[in-house]
Amino acid sequence: MFSLHVYQERRQRLKALMPEKSLAIVAAAAEVIRNRDAEYPFRQSSDFWYLTGFTEPDAVLVIGPGQPDRLFVRPKHPEQEVWTGRRMGPDHVKPRLGIDQGYPLEALDTELKTLLAEIAWVEYPFGCQKSTAIVDQAIKAKGLRSRRSDLLSHRADLSRHLSQARLIKSRQEIDIMKEAGRISAQGHIAAMQACEPGMTEDQLASVVEHQFRMDGSPSIAYQTIVGGGDNACILHYIDRTDRLRSGDLVLIDAGCEVLGYAGDITRTFPVNGSFTNAQAELYDLVLSAQSEAIAQMVVGKSIKLFHETAVRRLTEGLIELNIIEGPLELALEDKRYLPYYMHGTGHFLGLDVHDVGAYEHEGQPVELAEGMVITCEPGLYISQSSDAPARYRGIGIRIEDDVCITGRGPEVLTAKVPKERAEIEALMRG
């Protein structure tokens, strides 16, 4: 966990960007019922976590320029705590979290009535339903719909500031993401070592996730994807019910969380440990596309450039393998690669696996900046139903790594897991 000073600085920087007489409201995540009286595993809201480091549900952070920071939390309740675990309670907010004032949750409505009467702007993440509901309820309870219609129009999306702050990672955040990358890599290595024909996709997924836990990660960053054979051509395949067959490739897209920060790795390898000639041709093409794309992930270059680089290399290779027709420039113009490569080559990574941050500014692609962390994940997906030559059908390949943009060039945070064919085959032989 970060020091209290880190969270205090984040809140101060946020308040410095807010207009005078404004108030920001950020809600924690709520527990979600899975079935009857059982909940899904709780995961804190990323924005709320970024500003507080507080892990309990239902809390509300209220901050503003010239205002003390306020946190509304569940009160202590010894009887309930026996069943569901210890609560911090409002009295411990300041010493444990460094937040100026702690209140019980039931005081939120009363306090907001007073605070809203003194402000001109209210800010909250527009994408957060809970924050939106709190603001709407507070305005309604204060009777401001008729007397203060100006406040209704003076709402601002706090995400415009939070997203920019979260986009550029500090050195400490990058160190944590390196650890998430390391543990994620160990999960993929374990899967390569354990894989054998006849296993189910779900069994192989359990190997990955078990290794995450054994290495110190408390949770996965997203639902683990394991697709063998033609299932690898389904981008977000999560059924995981089929058995792995000798002669097929298996694609694993999996990452763990460390202190809320995600790792995100994809590797594709042969179920029996040996690539066929057709698999090798396509695999080497995807790997070369990734290598060329990563080389373009440099401070000051357009964020579109590494995707365009990957697309060009993949298109060139598809022509060489007689999967699509050339010439190259016409194939690019007509997007003839789309049946086989239909997604972007990367996304921001951080507290969310598809992290916050704008890819365009005023209609133009943003430039890569030091401290961004972005995935690089080209792929090819040639399904059994495609028009490609028969030898390539049923092959899905994606190779994904997490890349930190630095002044020294791109730094791959997930380099520990092999991706050269010879290295993969050697690892699987033991």
Q: What is the pLDDT of residues 124-179, one digit of tens each?
A: 999 899 998 998 888 776 665 444 445 555 789 999 999 999 999 999 999 999 99
Q: How far apart are the first and last CA of the chain?
A: 37
User: What pLDDT was estimated at residue 150?
Assistant: 52
pLDDT tens-digit profile of 209-226?
999 999 999 999 999 999
Backbone angles phi, psi at 315, to 5 degrees: -65, -45
As a whole number of Å, the CA-based R_g of the chain is 25
User: What pLDDT was estimated at residue 143?
Assistant: 61
Task: Look at the block and give the residue holding tokens 């007073």.
Answer: 114
CATH 3.90.230.10 segments of the chain: 168-429
Whole-angstrom Cα distance, residue 280 to residue 341?
18
User: What pLDDT was estimated at residue 11?
Assistant: 98
**What percent of the chain is modeled with pLDDT above 70?**
97
Q: Are 386 and 340 in contact (CB under 8 A)?
A: yes
Architecture (CATH level 2) of domain 168-429:
Alpha-Beta Complex (3.90)
Backbone angles phi, psi at 98, to 5 degrees: 70, 20
User: What pLDDT was estimated at residue 106?
Assistant: 97
pLDDT tens-digit profile of 275-333?
999 999 999 999 999 999 999 999 999 999 999 999 999 999 999 999 999 999 999 99
Name the DSSP letter for residue 128: -
By DSSP bridging, strand 265-270 and strand 261-262 are unpaired
Give the count of beta carbons closer than 10 Å to the beta carbon of residue 89.
Answer: 17
Question: Stretch 18-32: mean pLDDT, rounded?
Answer: 95
Per DSSP, the chain holds a count of helices (H) and strands (E) of 15, 21
For the chain, the average pLDDT equals 95
pLDDT band at 120 (very low <50, low <70, confident <90, very high): confident
User: What pLDDT was estimated at residue 144?
Assistant: 52
Whole-angstrom Cα distance, residue 139 to residue 120?
12
Name the region of 66 (left: φ>0; alpha: ψ -120 to 50; beta: rest).
left
Question: In 14-100, at which residue ranges do the beta strands (DSSP E only) sit?
Answer: 22-27, 33-35, 38-39, 60-63, 70-73
Whole-angstrom Cα distance, residue 169 to residue 159?
16
* Three-class secondary structure of residue 40 per DSSP: coil
User: What pLDDT was estimated at residue 147?
Assistant: 45
pLDDT tens-digit profile of 328-383?
999 999 999 999 999 999 999 999 999 999 999 999 999 999 999 999 999 999 99
Element (H, E) at 364: strand 364-365
Kindly list the catalytic residues. Answer: 37, 236, 253, 264, 343, 347, 354, 377, 381, 398, 400
CATH 3.40.350.10 segments of the chain: 4-166
Q: Are 224 and 253 in contact (CB under 8 A)?
A: yes
Architecture (CATH level 2) of domain 4-166:
3-Layer(aba) Sandwich (3.40)
